[in-house]
Amino acid sequence: MKIQFLGLILVTTFMLTSCKSNQATIVSQANIREVVNSSDVTLVDVRIPEQYAAGTADNAVNIPLSEIQNNIEALKGKKVVVFCNKGIQADQAMIILKKNGIEAYDGTTWKNVKAIQNETDKKAN
């Protein structure tokens, strides 16, 4: 009986935490276009400088993932969109930024953020 009860608690906990994280992902994806194009956003490319130099989104700054923690104070009070090549480093940066109270959004890849910017440019013309 105790094992079944413990199993039920574990399954319930897993289901509740899974729903919570999926909800956050849905909300951030729905807002990412608006956030990327807002005038008060800071776009942060978390790749290494060589990758950043090869191409990035317009007006993005380069803060490599290994330096994100050291730049928390500079990012406080700002709306931040992070991105990289495939989204893996951006996910790690999101964890660090959220733990430190930064309003952060996951732009996933620099090509995704650039495409959002290009959509807006086409609509403006």
Q: Which domain holds residue 118?
A: 28-124
Is residue 60 assigned to a domain? yes
Has residue 100 got a pLDDT over 90? yes
> CA-to-CA distance for 51 and 53, rounded, in angstroms?
5
Instruction: Note the Cα 67 to chain centre separation in Å.
Output: 16
Is residue 113 assigned to a domain? yes
Is residue 53 assigned to a domain? yes
Structurally, the chain folds into a number of domains equal to: 1
Is residue 112 assigned to a domain? yes
Measured torsion, CA atoms of residues 22, 24, 26, 29, in degrees rounded to the nearest 10: -130
Is residue 20 assigned to a domain? no
Has residue 26 got a pLDDT over 50? no
For residue 84, what pLDDT band results from cuts at 50, 70 and 90? very high
pLDDT in tens, 28-75: 454 799 999 999 999 999 999 999 999 999 999 999 999 999 999 999
Is residue 23 assigned to a domain? no
With tokens 């608006």, the residue in question is 34
Q: Assign residue 93 the CATH number of its domain.
A: 3.40.250.10
Q: What's the pTM?
A: 0.74
